[in-house]
Every structure is written in structure tokens, then in C-alpha cells.
Amino acid sequence: MPSEAKGEGAEVATPARTRAIIARHGFAFKKSLGQNFLIDRNILRTIVAAAELDKAKGALEIGPGIGALTQELAKSAGKVTAVEIDQRLLPILEEVMSEEPHVTLVHGDVLKLDLRALIAREFEGTSGLSVVANLPYYVTTPILMKLLEERLPLQHIVVMIQKEVAQRMTASPGSKAYGSLSVAVQYYTEARLVCTVPHTVFIPQPNVDSAVIKLTVRPEPPVAVTDEGFFFRVVQASFAQRRKTLLNNLLSFAGKDRREALIQLLDAVAIEPSRRAETLSLAEFARLADAILAQGWE
């Protein structure tokens, strides 16, 4: 590889280096793959610092692009594996990462890969694994839900995502951004907004603002529910129409003829029927879901 891309100062995350690499490889961005590459080393350092890595730990990166974040991860983690869907980026990544034997590049769609098997293969012997990524915005939620629902052995998930989605994932009950996505993410993790990020730190610049969030995976959910799938269905149903009361949303779910029974049920779990779903805590949703399940209405 050319000497300018080796050694100290060889990070690809500057506007000039990113443009030079792209030009040299004749690479054309694909908007449909959410390709917005980071060109700011301070942001990269902030992302990696939030992941609390050390040389005994591993980092799984989703969507390495031309390797800006991969290079920063390689400095902190003992093992880095990066999954990239776009075959055209593999030769660039191989060149950029050529002197990093502890970095493995995998060509594939993260939504289709068996991540449990990949983790077992790639991170054997490491003492903790985190996902660290500047995610493609078109699939942020499916990727994060896959990581959480499959209960992969992860410590932290530190990701750059769209600011509006970050606000929803980290929102508290009572705030406008709080919804079924907040409940789902906070059921599995402790969610924190690390920082917001201007669109000027990407090439090409996205149309929306961005933010970095840190999700610390909980060993156990903060609330116990009898049936997780049912719990999430009740949460979805409660938020179905935000301007409606909880009672009215639940009527559509349980059946219009169950008005009196639902009022009694809400009374029994100490939730006022006129409240809106956005004011309910996870503990209240858990109580509500279990009480509806116990009715055997479905």
C-alpha cells in the first residue's frame, strides 16, 4: 500500500485522505446502503472511548466503510471484526487494515448473518465484546433489535445513529419522544445519549442530524413479564394512536365490548384509564401486560 497510508498519521478519517482513497479506487457512494463516512477523529475517539475497550476485549463493527472507525477500534481492542455488505469496499479495507493482524473483515449483510456463530468463532478468548458502529441509517432499528432480541453476549453497543432515533431510544416516560422503541430498547439495555454530532463530519453529508448512543446490555430485564412477546404487543397496542387515551388504544386491542372489564383491570393495576401510553413506565407496562394476559382474552 502507498506509504502515506501507513504508520502514524495514516488514519483515513480526514477529508483529504478519504477523498484520495475514494478517488484512487474509483469508489462511488451508494445512498441506498447508508454510506456516510466519518472524517472527524475527535468523534471517532469519543465513540471508541464510550465503548470502554481494552486489549483483552473485542469489538464487532457493523459497516466499516473505508475503515475510519475500524482503525480507531484497532488501537483499543484486542480483536476487531468488521462486517461490511458492500463488496466494493473490501479491497479498500484490506489495504487500510493490512498491518493490523487482529482485525478481521467479513463480507456480508449483518441482518442475514448468524451473529451468535460469528461471535463464537471470532471472539473466542476475549473477555467481553461490544458492538461499535456508525450504522447505516436505513436499517438502524432492525440491526439494533436483532442484536438485542437474539440476546447476543454483548457488554455495550455504542452506535452513531440518526439524532431523532437516538432521542426516541433514550427517552424517559412523560417525554414526547417516549414510545414503543424506547420501551423495547430500555427493556434490554440502559440507554444513554453520548453526544450529538453535526452533519459536517461526514462525507457525503447526510440530510439529518446524528447522535452517538451507548446501550449497556442488562444481564436481566428491569421488569419481569410472563410472556415477552405478549408484553411487546401490549406496548405496541398502547402506543397505536398517540393522541388516544390508554383505554381507547387498549379497546382496539382487547375488543370494543370489553370496556368495563378493561376499566376494572386498569383500576386493579393502579393505572388511570385516561392516561396516555407515553406516561407509563416499564414497570407499569409489565403489570398491565401480565394482567391482560391473565384474563385469557386472546
Q: Which residues contact 142 (CB under 8 A, 6 or more apart)?
A: 111
d(CA 195, CA 43): 9
64 is a contact residue toward ligand SAM (CB under 6 A)? yes
Nearer residue to ligand SAM within complex by CB, 161 or 286 = 161
Among 58, 78, 128, 136, which residue sits at the site for ligand SAM (rule: CB under 6 A)?
136
109 annotated as a binding-site residue: yes
d(CA 292, CA 61): 40
Nearer residue to ligand SAM within complex by CB, 59 or 89 = 89
Q: Which amino acid, 256?
A: K
Which region, judged by CB under 6 A, interacts with ligand SAM, from 56-64, 167-175, 211-219, 242-250? 56-64
Task: Mark residues 75-114: x for contact with ligand SAM by CB under 6 A, - for none.
Answer: --------xxxx--x-------------------xxx---
36 annotated as a binding-site residue: yes
Among 5, 17, 21, 34, which residue sits at the site for ligand SAM (rule: CB under 6 A)?
34
Alpha-carbon torsion, ordered 279, 237, 217, 36, to 10 deg:
-100
d(CA 148, CA 233): 17
166 is a contact residue toward ligand SAM (CB under 6 A)? no
Among 21, 35, 79, 119, which residue sits at the site for ligand SAM (rule: CB under 6 A)?
35
Among 48, 69, 105, 131, which residue sits at the site for ligand SAM (rule: CB under 6 A)?
69
Residue 130 Cβ, how far from ligand SAM at the closest point, in Å?
A: 15
d(CA 59, CA 129): 6
Nearest alpha-carbon partner for 111 in 90, 87, 135, 93: 135
84 annotated as a binding-site residue: yes
210 is a contact residue toward ligand SAM (CB under 6 A)? no
Q: DSSP secondary structure string, 102-150?
A: TEEEEES-TTTS-HHHHHHHHSTT-S-EEEEEE--GGGHHHHHHHHHHT
36 is a contact residue toward ligand SAM (CB under 6 A)? yes
33 is a contact residue toward ligand SAM (CB under 6 A)? yes
Among 76, 134, 162, 167, which residue sits at the site for ligand SAM (rule: CB under 6 A)?
134
62 is a contact residue toward ligand SAM (CB under 6 A)? yes
Nearest alpha-carbon partner for 280 in 290, 291, 289, 271: 271
Q: How many helices (H) and strands (E) does the chain have?
A: 12, 9
Q: Judged by CB under 6 A, how many residues of this single chain contact ligand SAM?
A: 23
Which region, judged by CB under 6 A, interacts with ligand SAM, from 65-73, 124-132, 189-197, 217-225? 65-73
Nearest alpha-carbon partner for 238 in 273, 214, 270: 273
63 is a contact residue toward ligand SAM (CB under 6 A)? yes
- The C-alpha cell 384474563 sits at 295
Alpha-carbon torsion, ordered 216, 188, 44, 141, to 10 deg:
180
Binding residues for S-adenosyl-L-methionine: 36, 38, 63, 84, 109, 134
Binding residues: 36, 38, 63, 84, 109, 134
Binding positions for ligand SAM, rule: CB under 6 A: 33-38, 62-65, 68-69, 83-86, 89, 109-111, 134, 136, 139
